[in-house]
Amino acid sequence: DTAVSQTPKYLVTQMGNDKSIKCEQNLGHDTMYWYKQDSKKFLKIMFSYNNKELIINETVPNRFSPKSPDKAHLNLHINSLELGDSAVYFCASSTFGGAAYNEQFFGPGTRLTVL
Amino acid sequence: DQQVKQNSPSLSVQEGRISILNCDYTNSMFDYFLWYKKYPAEGPTFLISISSIKDKNEDGRFTVFLNKSAKHLSLHIVPSQPGDSAVYFCAAAAGAGGTSYGKLTFGQGTILTVHP
């Protein structure tokens, strides 16, 4: 029944490792997003995909690579993890166009801790 | 450069009274504004929105007011209930007609606590 789901919920790893976070939505939306919530609690957009095509790519290190195998999935792969990558990562989805873009549905978040 | 700011980290209100959460923005290109509510260990949930062509939008107990000249918006919750206790995020977008492509700029949130 979960509309937007993320796995894993918690991720603890060592510096230098590579990890992935998966996101799936069953709302029939065609646009998906990744946000990062840092220690100051600001939610900042990282990427957005519409129908598997990248449409927003904020200033994010290229160690972060999103992958969208289909419009219901948007995964986030992070290479060579650094301490500063520790944060909560939220996936979200929305429908295409107009104000509906902005009314986004969020997953529960993945808390990443890099040691 | 924080384009959306919520200057009150927390707000405490008695049940039944009004809660007023405030948000300021600096980017004149913003033309669509939203409030999201977040419970612990959950993702944000969309609450209410307002386009810059309006100055007020109401949905049940929730009303959002927009003052474009002051670049200020507020969320009023009347009457407040203990279940409203959560973190409230203000967000803004430039291009309500779709040109924003869903790029939201969020404030840092205000923790609302409603006491029984």
Count the Cβ atoms, other than its own, within 10 Å of residue B1: 4
For chain A, positions 20-49, list CB contacts with chain B under 8 A.
Answer: 31, 33, 40-45, 48
pLDDT in tens, A19-67: 999 999 999 998 999 999 988 888 999 999 888 888 888 878 899 999 9
Residues in chain A closer than 8 A to B41 (CB atoms) = 108-109
Q: What's the distance, Cα to Cα, between the start and end of chain B in Å?
A: 38
Is B27 part of the contact surface with chain A (CB cutoff 8 Å)? no
Q: Is A72 exposed, middle or buried (0-12, 13-18, 19+ CB in 10 A)?
A: middle
pLDDT in tens, A56-111: 888 788 999 999 999 899 999 999 999 999 999 999 999 877 676 778 999 999 99
Count of residues in chain A:
115
Judged against a pLDDT cut of 80, whether residue A5 lies above it is answered with yes
pLDDT in tens, A57-69: 887 889 999 999 9
Model pLDDT, residue B105: 93
B102: amino acid identity, one letter:
G
Q: Could you say which residues of chain B have pLDDT below 50?
A: none
A95: amino acid identity, one letter:
T
Q: Identify the closest residue of chain B to A42 by CA–CA distance.
A: B108
Nearest chain A Cα distance for residue B95, angstroms: 8
Percentage of residues in chain B with pLDDT exceeding 90? 89
